[in-house]
């Protein structure tokens, strides 16, 4: 599984209604603040231009609500322009009301926070860069906001501190929000993949119901064939030339009838199919290994020296899929061979997969088990690693397994998986 196919934030779309609602909150807040500061606190500023900016935003929001559906999703480009408008509208208000000396100048970090959470990296960088440029501009050029006595002083070092604080906040929030959004998108992708696996398993089970329905429908024509064959045998009598064929036809139709009857009664039974439902853990591992013999020329060695007690274990899809995935990754990154160590006793069942490759890189070792590996590691490991291991880890831990990843002292990597017998019993795996 190649993590390069995982989407970053490019496919993450935002509802237009979300931006409209956020803008309405800003509009009412701006209108209330402007009115209170001008009429109640008696600050003298260009209230007409400020109301004009707020009014324009109101008309824009009303227009968007009338022309669009509530379920409409914005593309990355559309959302970028929408957030840019909000940024410049806020810039206009701050320009008219004291620039960075206005305590509400902190709100200029809001657009980049929204952008980093929903837009791709290029759009987020653009909005972040413009925010910093506008902050620097507002530190030099703005209409002063006089107080009651018109004697407020803001030292240059205070304005410089505001610029640095706001720019640092914008950069931090942009990186932090973007990182969280990307990780969230990747985790959603991983869990969607898990869901698809379970859906496929559910579809396989539903085939049992279809088989039962088919068996019921086929029963009638099969009985008709058997009846006709018996009647023909009576008509023909002792003709050896045809009797042998008719006997074969009758016996085979009877056999088909019994098979269909069994399918109809029990299309997907776990109770009556114990031979297929449970298997020796050792045999199960051998079956999984055999599935790779035609896919890889590398050697797979199974060491059973410490396998003292054989466990008859339920053949759950989670166990089979996880072990296949771990062995597959070991084969991909090995040089010549992998070695599988099976060990067991009265209290514990363990399997360890070692390869003779270069081992886990230091950059990804701490991230193993998470549904992502950073882009640099993907470039170094063309096969991709991360999502498959994450799914295997989730599956196994749901079944009370303890899984550890580490590098061997000489060369290669190892994955160690173990179960306590009491946990296997509690989960009805044995």
Q: What is the CATH number of the domain that holds 387?
A: 3.30.565.10
Residues 120 and 23 in one domain: yes
Residues 300 and 169 in one domain: no
* Whether the Cβ atoms of residue 113 and residue 166 lie closer than 8 Å to each other: no
Share of the chain above pLDDT 90, in %: 19
Greatest mean pLDDT range, 183-197, 244-258, 282-296, 385-399: 282-296
Q: Which of 154, 175, 195 is the last residue of a domain?
A: 195
Residues 18 and 122 in one domain: yes
Instruction: Give domain status of residue 252, yes or no.
Output: no
Residue 89, pLDDT score: 93
Domain containing 291 equals: 276-426
Residues 189 and 302 in one domain: no
Instruction: Give domain status of residue 188, yes or no.
Output: yes
Instruction: Give domain status of residue 122, yes or no.
Output: yes
Instruction: Give domain status of residue 271, yes or no.
Output: no
Residues 291 and 150 in one domain: no
Greatest mean pLDDT range, 53-62, 64-73, 240-249, 258-267: 53-62
Residues 299 and 393 in one domain: yes
- For 102-126, the pLDDT digits (tens) are 888 888 888 888 888 788 888 888 9
- For 373-411, the pLDDT digits (tens) are 544 344 444 444 456 787 788 888 888 899 999 998 888
Residues 184 and 280 in one domain: no
3-state SS record for 144-179:
CCCCCCCCCCCCHHHHHHHHHHHHHHHHHHHHHHHH
Contacts of 417 (CB under 8 A, 6+ apart): 323, 326, 350, 351, 352, 396, 401, 402, 403
Residue 157, pLDDT score: 67
**What is the Cα–Cα distance from 341 to 417, expressed in whole angstroms?**
10
Residue 271, pLDDT score: 43
Q: At what angle do helices 121-140 and 156-236 cross, to 10 degrees?
A: 160
Instruction: Give domain status of residue 225, yes or no.
Output: no
Instruction: Give domain status of residue 81, yes or no.
Output: yes
pLDDT (average), residues 292-315: 87
Residues 186 and 325 in one domain: no
Q: What is the mean pLDDT of the chain?
A: 78
Task: Reply yes or no on whether the pLDDT at 275 is more than 50.
Answer: no
Q: Which of 195, 222, 238 is the last residue of a domain?
A: 195
pLDDT (average), residues 362-381: 58
- For 48-94, the pLDDT digits (tens) are 999 999 999 999 999 988 887 766 778 888 888 989 999 999 999 99
Task: State the total domains in the chain.
Answer: 2
Share of the chain above pLDDT 70, in %: 77
Instruction: Give domain status of residue 261, yes or no.
Output: no
Task: Reply yes or no on whether the pLDDT at 192 is more than 80.
Answer: no
Which of left, alpha, beta for 280 (phi over 0: left; psi -120 to 50: alpha)? beta
* Whether the Cβ atoms of residue 254 and residue 226 lie closer than 8 Å to each other: yes
* Whether the Cβ atoms of residue 74 and residue 82 lie closer than 8 Å to each other: yes
Q: Which of 146, 179, 195 is the last residue of a domain?
A: 195
Residue 310, pLDDT score: 87
């Amino acid at each position: 599984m190649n993590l390069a196919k995982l989407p970053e934030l490019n496919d993450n779309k935002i509802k237009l209604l979300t931006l409209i609602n956020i803008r309405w909150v800003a509009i009412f807040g701006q209108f209330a603040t402007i009115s209170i500061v001008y009429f109640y606190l008696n600050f003298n500023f260009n209230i007409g231009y400020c109301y004009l900016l707020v009014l324009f935003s109101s008309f824009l929001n009303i227009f968007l609500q009338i022309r669009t559906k509530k379920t409409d999703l914005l593309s990355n480009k559309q959302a970028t322009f929408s957030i840019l408008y909000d940024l410049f509208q806020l810039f206009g208000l701050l320009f008219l009301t004291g620039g960075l000396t206005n305590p509400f100048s902190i709100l200029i970090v809001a657009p980049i926070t929204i952008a980093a959470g929903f837009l791709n990296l290029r759009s987020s960088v653009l909005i972040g860069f413009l925010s910093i440029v506008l902050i620097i501009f507002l530190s030099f050029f703005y209409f002063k906001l006089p107080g009651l006595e018109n004697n407020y002083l803001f030292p240059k070092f205070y304005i410089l501190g505001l610029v640095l604080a706001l720019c640092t906040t914008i950069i931090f929030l942009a990186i932090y929000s973007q990182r969280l959004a990307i990780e969230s998108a990747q985790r959603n992708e991983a869990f969607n993949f898990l869901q698809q696996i379970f859906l496929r398993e559910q579809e396989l089970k539903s085939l049992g119901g279809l088989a039962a329905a088919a068996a019921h429908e086929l029963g009638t024509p099969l009985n008709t064939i058997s009846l006709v064959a018996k009647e023909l045998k009576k008509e023909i009598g002792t003709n050896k030339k045809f009797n042998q064929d008719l006997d074969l036809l009758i016996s085979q139709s009877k056999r088909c009838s019994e098979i269909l009857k069994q399918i109809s009664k029990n299309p997907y039974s776990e109770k009556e199919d114990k031979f297929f439902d449970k298997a020796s853990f050792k045999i199960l591992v051998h079956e999984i290994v055999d599935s790779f013999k035609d896919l890889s020329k590398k050697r797979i060695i199974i060491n059973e020296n410490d396998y003292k007690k054989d466990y008859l274990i339920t053949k759950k899809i989670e166990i089979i899929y996880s072990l296949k995935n771990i062995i597959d990754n070991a084969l991909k990154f090995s040089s010549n061979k992998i070695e599988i160590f099976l060990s067991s006793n009265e209290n514990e069942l363990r399997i360890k997969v070692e390869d003779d490759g270069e081992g886990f890189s230091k950059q990804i070792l701490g991230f193993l088990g998470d549904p992502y590996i950073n882009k640099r590691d993907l470039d170094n490991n063309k096969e991709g690693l991360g999502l498959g291991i994450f799914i295997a880890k989730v599956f196994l831990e749901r079944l009370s397994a303890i899984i550890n990843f580490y590098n061997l002292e000489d060369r290669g990597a190892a994955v160690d998986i173990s179960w306590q017998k009491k946990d296997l019993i509690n989960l009805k795996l044995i």
